[in-house]
Structure 1
Amino acid sequence: MSLLLGLDFGTGGVRVGVFDLDARRMLAEREAEYGTRHPKPGWAEQSPADWWEALGKASRAVMADLGRPEIAGICAATTASTVVACERNGIPLQPALLWMDCRAAAESDATARANHPVLAYSGGSDAAEWLVPKAMWLARHEPAVYARAGVICECLDWINFRLTGRWVGSRMNATCKWNWDSVAGRFHDDLFAELGVPDLAEKLPQPILPVGAPVERLSREVADHLGLSNRPVVAQGGIDAHIGMVGADTIEPGDLLMIGGTSVVHLFQLGAEQPVTGFWGPYPHALVDGRWLVEAGQVSAGSVLSWFSREIFALDQAGHDELCEAAGRIPVGGSGLLALDYFMGNRTPYRDPHLRGAVLGLSLGHDRAALYHAAVEGVALASANVLKRMDELGVPCRRIVTSGGYSRNPLWLKATVDAIGRPVELPSKANLTIIGACACAAAGAGLVPDLDAAAKAVVPPARPVEPDLAAHARYRELLEDYLEATELLAPLSRRLAARQTRGTPP
């Protein structure tokens, strides 16, 4: 058997799966959780040691389930940019800045004022979530940590170092988040100098390897930590949702992958460079040679729904299911409420980390079901706004594959499909990120010739989900309200966000 181990480091935990390439199916999966701390508004931190402990726990469990068979290849996909400042030996100097941490909003604004041609690949600026603005923030606010850091990297790089003892960067992460020039094959020190971090390139993991390239074999000690009987090759991975494109086989132009999770990520590729104003990219060669990767999405999506059900309403899973059932009985727009999903800023199409969430139209007659229903609608409308922008840009979208939290929340899935008004394919019980990581592992182990072949070898079956066109007509009306509310509230939202950043009462 050609067995492959895929690692998916998400926001709340790591999921580990073993895929049988010959049988084209996932044999077993396990998950282990780790925590997130929010020491200040807009901040989010995690402990790298927690990642490593959770990985060992989940991997040993899944290998025990299968009797510890030999593994041909292993690959990790992680959140991006979850940034670690550490010594060259991998010891972190402080907690990692989670991808959703938006403390570097001012630094993000500074990248928009920079004048360098490589910024065209990211749409003219870097998001507050990304590694470069976070490194700028460290250099400005924690200069001793920045100076001491031998390596500033992402979760992926840190995990790969722990697995192999080798520092390498992923061409995907470097191109999409680090201002790596994937056409010239280099960093631009003059850009980093303009941004106040002239030595940043020296601290970034190198060499830069393409997705699916072999990195190194596991050490015996690490193999024992993972519960493996042999020492498989580690293949270079990338960003969790982006690696899902390989698992969904949405690599061709005209395909769109839409993954619902803590955030929503919309990913597609172009056959040639074209302007994608409001989106992130186009990134040349980020996933595969000769194609231009484009990223869109929502910073807060499933996290908004969880915030309402767990934090505000204090519901367990059974209570959440009852809440969804009650909210599902409310027709589209029937609550009279309008929710904006910008709880941690906006990724697309406004590229504004200073926007904040809102619920409009509240009265004393509204209950939990109405609030939750409005939140679901708001998150769905944000996805519809992304698709609207794609149409305006003339980007072809002939096929949509969706996965993640949509498969576990039918209310969210229906709202999204009705809001965008297009059919989608929903793989059944498939974690596309793990499947994509296993496909990359197959490429790294030499079991397939390239990522295109790997994607064809692992893509799972899917069922079609059709939109309710009457509901879509109502969502089109709500989208106009959503757009108007965004425009009207944006100045006040930015002022409130600035006060939060300063730590003063609103």
Structure 2
Amino acid sequence: MGVDLGTQSVRALAVTDGGEVLGRGAAPLTGHRDGDRHEQLPADWWEGAVTALRRALRTVPAARVRGVAVCGTSGTVLLTDRAGEPLTPALMYDDGRAAAEARRAQEAGAEVWRTLGHRIQPTWALAKLVRLTAEYGGTGGARVCHQADFVTTRLVGGPVPTDSSHALKTGYDLHTRSWPTAVHDRLGLAGLDFPAVVAPGTELGTVCRAAADRTGLAEGTPVVAGMTDGCAAQLGSGAWEIGQWNTVLGTTLVLKGVTRTPLHDPAGVLYNHLAPDGNWLPGGASSVGAGALTHAFPGADLGHLDRLAAHREPAGAVAYPLVSRGERFPFLAAGAEPLMLGVPADDADRYAALLQGVALAERLCLAYVRYLGAPVEGPVTFTGGATRSGYWNQLRADILGRTARVPAHTDSALGMAVLAARGVTGGSAPRGMVRIRTVLEPRPRVGARFAGPFATLVDALETRGWLPPAVAAHAREHG
């Protein structure tokens, strides 16, 4: 059983070793956005997980569930008391208010971050912890809690270790396998209780009686340490070999691949997760994504708009459709704002520009990892909620100029089911758990139409000082 704590919903998926989905469930989530602020109530995550699990178990006997793992959004953090009850709201993955705190954290741990190839960003959990302790005060002994930790704590019935994937943006050193306590001291975080850290796939405990009563899971079911949602999507994509890449397109866009060693990024916008098999998962999270569509066209028939957009290739304008202010990948620009270069002819043209803009940003992300020397081999895999649009999938393949694979199940919850299988068996996850639904070949004649818009976008990003000149030059030549 995999559980995915997303931005807009909690999803649960029960999957066999052969990839058959026996049960699924979902529950909506809401939050509060105001400028750079984005918060959710942690209690809503647990109630959503309870609902999603119960719905998934309507078609699966609880006794058949051999393990459960949970993923959450990367960088989402809060403080709890020792029993796991919230002391603060949860600052979500894209809450960007901690800009000053990020600068302090970067300076306080400059040598550590240089070794790790990190640059602490305002959306990272470490910067948010500095803000939370300053804003709420009196948090001596408060426990650091990531989004997935909040739910696993309730499943097990008490505080549990976190996993190294969720801990990464809180400053955890994957090379020394330790928290940088000296940096914490400099930032005034010494009074916080940072949890023990384990590898993804490690058993955290078993479902307690109270959680069994609420969720429908059997008491004693193993609970396995998860990963962030981007890593979960990577596991669920089946892109497990060196040089393979997966893009998760939901509210925002996440790109992640597989390398033998960590990928060094002097700019610090790309970071490296450690995979359960010992390889590395370099990648980054952009603030571009499908959330721009739902914001611009609330309640619209997107299928109808897809059909109209098919006649606007390319659109009359070029977009960089940020969901919120500031960009994190493939460049760092706290002041970046959504771009619409040109004036769309009508709503259909505007919609087409947004679809194409996301794909152009995706192309720039792949160009960036190649700029850093990463291998990009074989097809790219598409996962995330946006893969429901067959038109958009083909458009993305065309603009990328690469073969694309779409798994039968593109939810990050599948990746957590894969990790749960690995955790409870102690070996490799069964490859049969991931089934490919569609293979899309790029259409060169269509892709050629977007060479101009891509160059226009790269020029605009460089002119505004957001995209470094060397990266822009590489994108123009090799992107």
Name the TM-score, length of structure 2 as normaliser.
Answer: 0.91
Alignment check: 8 A CA contact 1:74 1:438 kept? yes
**Match of residue 24, structure 2, among 29, 37, 40:** 29
Aligned position for 1:205: 195
CA distance in 2, matches of 1:105, 1:11: 22
Aligned position for 1:391: 370
CA distance in 2, matches of 1:409, 1:279: 33
1:275 Cα deviation after fit: 2.3
SS of the aligned residue for 1:94 comes to coil
Aligned position for 1:503: none
Provide the alpha-carbon RMSD of the alignment. 2.2
CA distance in 2, matches of 1:269, 1:114: 30
Name the TM-score, length of structure 1 as normaliser.
Answer: 0.86
Task: Report whether the alignment pairs 1:413 with 2:402.
Answer: no
Alignment check: 8 A CA contact 2:356 2:395 kept? yes
Cα 1:438–1:124 shift into 2, 3 Å? closer
SS of the aligned residue for 1:203 comes to coil
SS of the aligned residue for 1:463 comes to strand
When the two structures are aligned, how many residues end up with a matched partner? 463
1:85 Cα deviation after fit: 1.6
CA distance in 2, matches of 1:135, 1:66: 40
CA distance in 2, matches of 1:171, 1:31: 26
SS of the aligned residue for 1:375 comes to helix
Aligned position for 1:256: 245
CA distance in 1, matches of 2:12, 2:263: 37
Cα 1:107–1:122 shift into 2, 3 Å? farther
1:69 Cα deviation after fit: 3.9
SS of the aligned residue for 1:470 comes to helix
1:239-318 mapped onto 2 (5 Å cutoff): 239-278=228-267, 280-283=269-272, 286-288=274-276, 290-310=278-298, 315-316=299-300
1:317-332 mapped onto 2 (5 Å cutoff): 319-332=301-314
Task: Report whether the alignment pairs 1:64 with 2:64.
Answer: no
Task: Report whether the alignment pairs 1:156 with 2:148.
Answer: yes
CA deviations on 1:54-88 (whole Å, 9 max, x unpaired) are 11112112212334443211111111121122111
One-letter amino acid matched to 2:413: I
Task: Report whether the alignment pairs 1:352 with 2:343.
Answer: no
One-letter amino acid matched to 2:223: V
Cα 1:371–1:427 shift into 2, 3 Å? same
Aligned position for 1:191: 183
One-letter amino acid matched to 1:323: L
Alignment check: 8 A CA contact 1:77 1:239 kept? yes
1:106 Cα deviation after fit: 2.7
Task: Report whether the alignment pairs 1:214 with 2:203.
Answer: yes
1:276 Cα deviation after fit: 3.0
Aligned position for 1:382: 361
Tell me the percent identity. Answer: 24
One-letter amino acid matched to 1:233: P
Alignment check: 8 A CA contact 2:405 2:438 kept? yes
Cα 1:36–1:455 shift into 2, 3 Å? farther
Question: Gaps (5+ residues) in structure 1?
Answer: 492-506
Task: Report whether the alignment pairs 1:425 with 2:400.
Answer: no
CA deviations on 1:451-503 (whole Å, 9 max, x unpaired) are xx205242223421111212222222211111121233358xxxxxxxxxxxx
SS of the aligned residue for 1:472 comes to helix
Task: Report whether the alignment pairs 1:458 with 2:433.
Answer: yes
CA distance in 2, matches of 1:109, 1:370: 40
**Match of residue 10, structure 2, among 14, 17, 21:** 14
- Shifted more, 482-491 versus 177-186: the winner is 482-491
CA deviations on 1:178-213 (whole Å, 9 max, x unpaired) are 22122222111222234x23416x42222x110111
1:84-99 mapped onto 2 (5 Å cutoff): 84-99=78-93
1:96 Cα deviation after fit: 1.0
Aligned position for 2:423: 444
Alignment check: 8 A CA contact 2:290 2:386 kept? no
One-letter amino acid matched to 2:398: D
CA deviations on 1:125-158 (whole Å, 9 max, x unpaired) are 1222221011122233x0426x256112211111
One-letter amino acid matched to 1:80: S
Cα 1:322–1:127 shift into 2, 3 Å? same
Task: Report whether the alignment pairs 1:361 with 2:349.
Answer: no
CA distance in 1, matches of 2:109, 2:88: 32
Cα 1:35–1:372 shift into 2, 3 Å? same
Aligned position for 2:70: 76
SS of the aligned residue for 1:270 comes to coil
CA distance in 2, matches of 1:143, 1:67: 44
One-letter amino acid matched to 2:155: L
SS of the aligned residue for 1:348 comes to coil
CA distance in 1, matches of 2:346, 2:116: 42
CA deviations on 1:431-469 (whole Å, 9 max, x unpaired) are 342222112212322x2x33xx20524222342111121
1:390 Cα deviation after fit: 2.2
CA deviations on 1:224-280 (whole Å, 9 max, x unpaired) are 111124420100001012022222232321111111111111111221244234464
